[in-house]
Amino acid sequence: MKIYRIGATAFVDNEGSYRKREIVDWTTFINRDGLHEFLKKEIVDWKETDGSFLDLNRFDPPIDNQEIWAAGVTYERSKTARMDEAKESGGSVFYDMVYDAERPELFFKATAQRCVGSGDEVYIRKDSTWNVPEPELTLLINSQGSIEGYTIGNDMSSRSIEGENPLYLPQAKVYEKCAALGPCIYVPKSPIPTTTRIYITIERDGKTMFNEDVAISKIKRDFGELVSFLFRECDFPQGVFLMTGTCLVPPDDFTLKVGDKISITIDGIGKLVNHVGKK
Ligand code: DO4
Ligand code: MG
């Protein structure tokens, strides 16, 4: 089942049959144990609709007041890219260490206010010379620490700022429109399969600049392990979204430009599309 949010209305796609209803409190709606089972029963009373809403090219991010966190250096490709970018600053060693350490890298990525949905613009920092999207499978975790759904995340990043000094990570990662989530929350009956693939395409003036894909089985860490570290000393009364890290890194001579189109697809979930805009 997939939940899309358009304004105050939730649309549920239940394997090709569609229902909709106005949702007064999005947090109460998504933050629960057994979201899949709940939805199955709940939507019986919702209004039937057709699938034409899927033709819209904009969806609200499926978030209310949850925090967005991110895991880093969870794939080998992320480790090597960051070791290269931090060579001059002497920061490479930290990426190497964290990849093998027991404690994963977890960082605060965004408030809902800094997050956009599919069809919205994301921004790049004006004080950054090297900017990339990071396509990441994103977990919806409820307040009890249980993974209830999945969405697509874009962890927009400044590689020049991050490379200058690893201590600049919050500035490389957190700024206006630095995160995108969507187009929906995928709520399967069982955990997403490890054969699931993530695909990214970056287009400029209709020309493909970067196109790659990877299976999530390449991840070094278990999702349960990431969640358990995240919940160690933090409570999330409304639930939380956790981006699980990137494995798809454009070549070092590539940087995003205003107008670029970023399309991220994840099997089973759908496609998150954003253009790079300007503040
Ligand atoms: O350590 C820097 C950020 C890592 C990250 O965002 C990722 O691996 O996806
Ligand atoms: Mg990332």
Q: Which CATH architecture has domain 67-277?
A: Alpha-Beta Complex (3.90)
pLDDT tens per residue, range 56-84: 989 999 999 999 999 999 999 999 999 99
Indicate whether 279 pLDDT > 90: no
Q: How does pLDDT run across 97-139, given as a tens digit for each residue?
A: 999 999 999 999 999 999 999 999 999 999 999 999 999 999 9
DSSP code at position 197: E
Backbone torsions φ then ψ of 54, nearest 5 degrees: -70, -20
Q: What is the pLDDT of residue 74?
A: 98
Q: Where are the domains of the chain?
A: 2-56, 67-277
- Say what the pLDDT of residue 253 is: 97
Query: Closest residue (by CA) to atom 1 of ligand 1?
Result: 72
Average pLDDT over residues 246-253: 97
109: enclosing H helix or E strand: strand 105-110
Enter the pTM of the model.
0.98
**In the block, residue with structure tokens 């639930």:** 239
Is the pLDDT confidence value at 212 over 90?
yes
Work out the average pLDDT over 173-201.
98
Contact 266, 149 (CB under 8 A): no
| 151, pLDDT greater than 90 | yes
Mean pLDDT of all residues in 151-164: 97
Q: Ligand 1 mean position to 204 CA, how many Å?
A: 24
Task: Please compute the mean of the pLDDT values over residues 161-171 and round it to a whole number.
Answer: 97
173 C-alpha to ligand 1 centroid (Å): 9
To the nearest whole number, what is the mean pLDDT of the chain?
A: 97
The predicted model gives 207-231 an average pLDDT of: 98
- Per the structure block, which two tokens stand in for 175? 């700024």
**93, 134, 156, 219: residue to mutate for ligand 1 pocket, most atoms within 8 A of CB:** 134
- What's the confidence (pLDDT) of residue 106? 98
Condensed to tens digits (0 to 9), the pLDDT of residues 17-47 reads 999 999 999 999 999 999 999 999 999 999 9
- Alpha-carbon distance of 277 to 73, in angstroms, equals 27
